[in-house]
Structure 1
Amino acid sequence: MSLAVETPETERVPERERLWDLAGAWRGVLTAVGIFALTRVAQLLILAWMSAAADDQVSVRGRLLVWDAGWFLRVAIDGYPHGYTYGANGGLEGNELAFFPLYPMLIRGVAALGPSAQTAALAVSWLASIGAAVALHLLGTTLYGKRAGWALVAICCTAPVSVVLSMAYSEALFLALVAGMLAAAHRKVWWAAGLLGLGAALTRPTGAAAALALAVAAIMAVRESRRKAWQPLGAAAVALAGVPLFLAWVGLRVGDPSAWFRIQTAGWGTSFDYGASTWTFLRQTLSTGDGWIPVSMAIMLLVALAAAGVALAGKPWLPLAVYGVVAMVLVYGQAGFYHSKPRLLLPVLLTLLPATVAAARARPRVAVLSIAAWAAFGLWYGAYMLTVWPYTL
């Protein structure tokens, strides 16, 4: 069964029409931004309500600046260290070199205009989230039609850990760049796809999966027509260079080619173990676990796998499938904090396709009520994680 959505818009609009017009021009895009804004207002209201009930006296703003935000802010303010960091016992520790540079660079740029680094970090994240909403709408529209574009925005921005889109984290920026890259590649706007792919690769290590997807799109384009083949191939080459360049730079700065990997393992226990730790977490949590948050996260990981399987059975656009599969292999295949995995899955997009297509096909009232129910749980869950759950996302 194909995931294609037959809508009046996609039946009438010629393939050559610009994506902007296909997405409803300003009205369609502003609708997508409005959907996003509604999700953020609701999230902040729930977060404020739960923060008032907490006894830790942490403000809503303070909750949006916790955990990884501190690492990004230190890079933005002080730059990267020149070598390894060791603890009092002489053991290797994690440091700022584990974090990719684009988000802290943007924080520094905005802070140079006058606001504090903390305000700049939140501003960059929120502006990137708006960009993500536009890019998601354009991607959903170009693949499945305008209604699917709006549904993708709503479903993604109300996912259980979508609270990170409001935090000083790099997920919002990465999501905007990846969705924009895929939309540009689908419409064969190669210069934009290449730059966005490079940006994604300099934002998170999962940018390597996005770059591979762009390479697949480029190969598909060259097979269709060898005319101006340098454009898609050049775009792919630019994106593919991002992650290796940063890892090489870290290696040169420290004097050890494996420095980035060693820092990741020392600081966060992150290493690729082919899914052994994920399997252990799922097996132990679902058989003997007694905490509802670990159990809920285990269920999320299983549901995401099932959703990806349904999406792949529908034969989605190949580059999107490649990006989703590779990104999921990286998330499920690595050791590390299990409570960060749902966050890392948020920008994968492949897991959201079945719900997006179903919402686009459903009657508007059914789609709105279904997404509202999803949003009620997802937005509350994210607020709970910031106010009650004591561990990092």
Structure 2
Amino acid sequence: MSAASAPSWLSSAAQRVRRLPAPLTIALIYLAARAITTAFLAVAAAQSTALSRFGAGATIGDLSLGWDAQWYWLIAVAGYPSELPLTDAGEVAENAWAFMPLYPMLARVIGLPLGSWGAGAVVVSFVAGYLGCLALHRLLSPRIGGGAALVAVVFFANGPLAALFQVGYAESLAMLFLLLALDAVLRRRYFWLYLLVPVLGFTRPGVLAFALFLGLVLVWRWTRRRIDPLPGTEIAHFFALGALATVVGFSWQIVAAVVTGDPGAYLATELAWRRNWGSSGAAGFIPFEGWVDASAFWFTFWGLPAFLGPVVLVLLVAGAAALLLFDRRVRALGVEVRLWSASYLLYLLAVFFPQSSTLRLLFPLTPLWGAVAIPRSWWYRAGVLVLCLGAQAAWIYNIYAMGDTFWRVP
């Protein structure tokens, strides 16, 4: 069924929406999405029991400032430890050095007139989410058209992880900076990146993936220089920005080493989060080891043969590569979006141990919503929206209403 065969009331509503300025339309979409998420959180709070992390009688405010929001709050009020905490076994314990400083400090500033850090954190996430929707629309519109880009915004604002737009997590702010940075590369406005790369790097880990992305874009532009001229000034920008992203990507390790006096403070902190998941990281950080170990861990946990884990992992990597290379809807997003997606996935493969927060770690692949939004059938789009809302409700229920076991951690 095509878009033209949609019910008359739906077609009429769509025409009225298209006549509104895009920022207003996106604001209405975003506010409606946040109302739905708030309802899901209210239900989750009511369902919370003594077995949940939040206990009986939990409120939406409790949920909004739970889990990693507590680490960000601790950073805002106490800073970072100058001495790494240790477990009873003498190993580095989980601590604040795993979290970047920009989000908690910005939330602290915004929260001052509001009376609390928590209020500032939710406001930062909420506002950054709306601005991120605007940035996503701006990024996708030149490639897939304004209408499809608007549908991508609907999916993004109502997606499985939409609760991140109104809780004390840094993802919403990091996503805004990332979308603006990708848009700057597409529009070749490189000077903005000298600001965006550092703020992105000190909001969430992952800026090293952006350094790889810049290198791949430069190689791609170089192969097309006869049909798309590549001036020396642009080459200089790519090298300078790639170097900047690399320096920013490793700088937090240096800061942690200087403050604590331990050269391996940051890596030891990151590996502390892996310790309860298996042997990965026990002998230090080894690139790509996390996924191999995790595949065996999860298949054993699910009662399946452990040797199948790496096999499925290889198939997943091959499937993701095929999708980015050959799927016509993904190709419609442009080479830059595909190169960013490939760069980020390779970064995750190299450094991440897939566990309960894997879905959240896939958040930077948000531009791929554009590919999902391209089909124009109204029933297809309605079906995707229903799936988004169902997945969001399930995620909130497990993470916030239940929150009672290791695989229910965001």
Tell me the equivalent position of 2:9: none
Contact 1:32-1:134 within 8 A present in 2 as well: yes
Question: How many angstroms apart in 2 are the aligned matches of 1:335 and 1:187?
Answer: 31
Hey, what does 1:277 align to over in structure 2? 293
Q: Which amino acid aligns with 2:230?
A: S
Deviates more, 1:127-136 or 1:251-260: 251-260
Paired residues of 1:131 and 1:176 also in contact (CA < 8 A): yes
Is the Cα contact below 8 Å between 2:37 and 2:162 reproduced in 1? Answer: no
Which of 22, 26, 45 is the matching residue for 1:28?
22
- Is 1:99 aligned to 2:105, yes or no? no
Matched, 1:172 2:172: yes
Q: Provide the rounded CA distance (Å) in 1 between the counterparts of 2:217 and 2:27.
A: 28
Aligned 8 A contact 2:253 2:266 in 1: yes
After superposition, give the CA deviation of every residue in 1:30-82 in whole Å (9 maximum; x if it has no partner). Answer: 32232222222101112212322333211011111111111111111111111
What is the CA distance between 1:186 and its match in structure 2?
A: 0.3
SS at match of 2:21: helix
Tell me the equivalent position of 1:42.
Answer: 36
Q: Check conservation: 2:193, 2:241, Cα contact below 8 A.
A: yes
Alignment of 1:163-312 (within 5 A): 163-217=163-217, 223=225, 224-226=229-231, 228-229=233-234, 230-269=236-275, 271=285, 272=287, 273=289, 275-284=291-300, 287-288=303-304, 306=319, 309-312=322-325
Contact map agreement 1:84 1:95 (CA 8 A) in 2:
yes
The answer to whether the Cα contact below 8 Å between 2:44 and 2:400 also exists between their aligned partners in 1 is no
- Compute the TM-score of the two structures, normalised by the length of structure 2: 0.77
Q: 1:65 to 1:74 in 2, by over 3 A?
A: same
User: How big is each residue's C-alpha offset from its partner over 1:88-126, in whole Å with a ceiling of 9 and x where there is no partner?
Assistant: 553321211111121122122223445311111111111
SS across alignment from 1:92? coil
Distance 1:305 1:162 in 2: 28
Amino acid at match of 2:394: Y
Classify 1:215/1:104 alpha carbon distance in 2 versus 1 (closer, same or farther; 3 Å).
farther
Partner residue, 1:361: 375
CA distance, structure 1, for counterparts of residue 376 and residue 366 of structure 2:
20
Give the TM-score normalised by the residue count of structure 1: 0.80
Q: 1:349 aligns with which of 357, 366, 380?
A: 366
Q: Is 2:112–2:120's contact at 8 Å kept on the other side of the alignment?
A: no
Q: Confirm whether residue 51 of structure 1 aligns to residue 51 of structure 2.
A: no
Task: Give 5+ residue unaligned stretches, structure 1.
Answer: 1-23, 290-298
| 1:14-45 superposed Cα distances (whole Å, 9 cap, x missing partner) | xxxxxxxxxx9981133223222222210111
Q: Quick check: 1:51–1:58 contact (8 Å CA) kept in 2? A: yes
**Greater shift in the superposed pair: 182-191 or 313-322:** 313-322
State the 1:322 CA deviation: 2.9
Gaps of 5+ in 2: 1-17, 50-55, 276-280, 306-311
Alignment match, 1:20: none
Q: Which residue of 2 aligns with 1:381?
A: 394
Partner of 1:313: 326
Structure 1 Cα separation of the partners of residues 108 and 27 of structure 2: 26
3-state SS of paired residue (1:338): coil
- Measured after TM superposition, the shift of residue 231 of structure 1 is 4.1
Q: Secondary structure at the match of 1:81?
A: coil
The AA in structure 1 aligned to 2:211 is A
1:226-268 CA-partner distances (Å, limit 9, x unpaired): 1533445444443333212222111222223322101111244
**1:335 deviation in Å?**
5.5
